[in-house]
Amino acid sequence: MPPEARRTQQKDAIREAFASEGRPLSPQEALESAQSRVPGLGIATVYRAIKRFLTDGTLVAVELPGATTRYELAGLGHHHHFCCRRCDRVYDVEGCPPRVAELTPDGFELEAHEIVLRGVCSGCSQTAATT
């Protein structure tokens, strides 16, 4: 088995970070979550693991306009995202509005769509209400 394919405590912690957070993570967010399992973990290791996980299909990139690239577990099916303007976290939004294809102009053929909701997440809303 090539060295890059080995299971390591660091890669396991990073993979678990994506699974336990249950939302798209930036490399920094993945680092902060994984450090609870491996305290000495560094950002370079996170970037290497993300690259490996993208290659082997464990993760997919979440590219949102005006935002840092996030990554999430592959195989989640079609869904959309919510971006919090206060904490900059990204959350998965289940479901899809009905009749999206009806928005396509006459003569056009819809192949895919992405919907990004923006606002304030519940955590930031509660923080603002108590201050």
What are 106-119's pLDDT values in tens digits?
Answer: 999 999 999 999 99
Tell me the DSSP string of 38-85.
Answer: STT--HHHHHHHHHHHHHHTSEEEE--TTS--EEEES---S-EEEEET
**pLDDT score for 1:** 38
Q: Which CATH number fits domain 3-73: 1.10.10.10, 3.30.420.40, 3.40.50.1370, 3.30.360.10?
A: 1.10.10.10
| Assigned token pair, 99 | 């009749």
Determine the CATH number of domain 80-130: 3.30.1490.190
Q: Place 95 in a pLDDT band, splitting at 50, 70 and 90.
A: confident
Q: Are 68 and 30 in contact (CB under 8 A)?
A: no
**pLDDT score for 129:** 75
Domain boundaries, the chain: 3-73, 80-130
